[in-house]
Amino acid sequence: MRTKLAEREERVFKTKEEYIEEERAELTQQGLWNEYFLAFLEQNLQQMQNGNFTYCYLNHVRTEYVQKYWDVKFEQYYKKVECPVLFLPSEEEWKDERIRSSLSAFTGLLDTYEIEHIENSIHAYVWMQFPLTAGEVAKKFINKHDK
pLDDT in tens, 109-139: 999 999 999 999 999 899 999 999 999 999 9
pLDDT score for 1: 64
Q: Which residue has the higher pLDDT, 82 or 6?
A: 82
For the stretch 106-114, contacts whose Cβ atoms lie closer than 8 Å and that sit 24 or more positions apart, written own/partner, are 106/74, 106/75, 106/78, 109/75, 109/78, 109/79, 109/81, 110/78, 110/81, 110/85, 111/82, 112/83, 112/84, 112/85, 112/145, 113/84, 113/85, 113/86, 113/87, 114/84, 114/85, 114/86, 114/87, 114/141
Residue 2, pLDDT above cutoff 70: no
